[in-house]
Chain A
């Protein structure tokens, strides 16, 4: 006599160690195979867009730190670029170089967190994560030199950065740039050929380029499918057209390719940092923009390549001291929408890995 079976719906999260924040999944299973996944989010909603409407343009920079709290420098950068477009000011060259240096350091830090937590989700609890955090701490120490804070940096201002880098920053950055490739080789030695990692990630949760583009996915997740789309090349902002770097792409768009693309991107970031250190020249770091900025009536959109994808800020001004409307295009939020396509037909444990490999940050998803 055949047994009568029926699908079962299971709640995962919101408090779960592998949800990278507070994120809830309503998953329907047939045995251990996933039939359907319904993400439920909003547990970390703070209303940043609304809060921005009653803060001055400079004060909003502190809010952007808290969107994607592992890449706050790049959030700062995207916001100030939008404001500069709106106000019609441009940062001096040294200010732009300092911004690029900060952004590339932050990209490495964010990718380190992504890699570390991906391995953490695979079940290698904390050990590879600690390897990655060892280097992330060095980057955060550099940020402490640069701007006095480690996570919530508030480093950039409309029209540049608030202050020049201290004298002891440059030797420290040089040491870091020299040592980082050695550490990247260490990760690759530890992980890239590890059979457990290969079995769990190769050919699992494959994303096709068409699905990715249809879902307006960007960042390493899109590049892992073999589509070389990087805003630093496609729409060069700041000084990125001066640097020589490549866009690493994957082949198949599986979990392993997403991991590999991030590792290769860190190497490219180091190349950019090296070129920055050669090219940077003394000068002003900030144009004379008042702390209480009143841009003319209008609207502006600026986007940057954040570690997660295309991060865009759309600012509307009514001529007052605070934005009339601020819209944030959060890459994590949009990349999360393809999770359902990725995981249907997989097992529960693979879903956690697929979720980790997209590298979402709930602070940015919920805003």
Chain B
């Protein structure tokens, strides 16, 4: 019979009309984000960072800028490099996460937010001061140790640098600060 197909369609529409809506009213209600979500607000642990700039090299867009100088103790004697500049220009970032994958020391993590709207492009650059001051809610993306511990950046309190690393790596086992010999072992290709 002509028109039966449309009637069947309307029947479905009525059925769906009586269902609970699948949408949420966004700013007030939010959907649950998975802890692996790759978001803005990069999390950086200065205690772990050696300034090797692996992240800057692996960034496909080259938006990470790192400037270092040797610290008080000489690097060959086990001293750290001090980091002057660690700028991430998230105005051009595409959140692929390759920087996090490249970091051999578990110092850089993706963030968990997504509401970083700014009026000026310059404000989109995450400077080293902002990274230092930020609350650290790291995403568990490419950090299996963090995922195994059940950390959820949207619920739990900020994670400290002792909690986030892969401590069974030879570099982390020794108590002294990292030297060049250790960093060769710890670094991936």
Contact = CB atoms under 8 A, between A and B. Distances in A.
Interface stretch (A187-195, A204-212, A222-230): A187-195
Interface residues on B, range: 35 or more
B188 A152 contact: no
Interface stretch (B45-53, B73-81, B137-145, B155-163): B137-145
B97 interface: yes
B97 A148 contact: yes
Nearest to A60: B60
A80 to B, nearest CB: 14
Contacts of A141: 31, 34
Interface stretch (B3-11, B122-130, B168-176): B3-11
B142 A191 contact: no
Contacts of B134: none
Contacts of A166: 34, 36, 147
Contact of B94 (A62, A146, A190): A62
B119 interface: no
Interface in A119-142: 131, 134, 137, 141
Query: Which of B5, B16, B141, B189 is the most central at the interface, judged by chain A CB atoms within 10 Å of its CB?
Result: B5
Nearest to B141: A148
Contact of B60 (A59, A137, A168, A192): A59
Chain B contact residues: over half helix, strand or loop, or mixed?
loop
B52 to A, nearest CB: 14
A290 B4 contact: no
Contacts of A168: 34
Given A144-B33, A144-B37, A191 B9 contact: yes
A196 B6 CA distance: 8
Contacts of A197: 5
A198 interface: yes
A15 B38 CA distance: 32
Contacts of A189: 8-9, 11-12
A238 B81 CA distance: 46
A218 interface: no
A61 B60 CA distance: 10
Interface string A288-299: 001110000000
Contacts of B188: 290-291
B66 interface: no
A202 interface: no
Interface string B1-43: 0111110110111001000001000000001011011100000
A145 interface: yes
A186 interface: yes
Nearest to A163: B142
A280 B189 CA distance: 29
A149 interface: yes
A147 interface: yes
B90 interface: no
Contact of A62 (B37, B98, B139): B98
A58 interface: yes
7 contacts: A62-B96, A144-B33, A145-B34, A147-B36, A154-B98, A190-B9, A291-B98
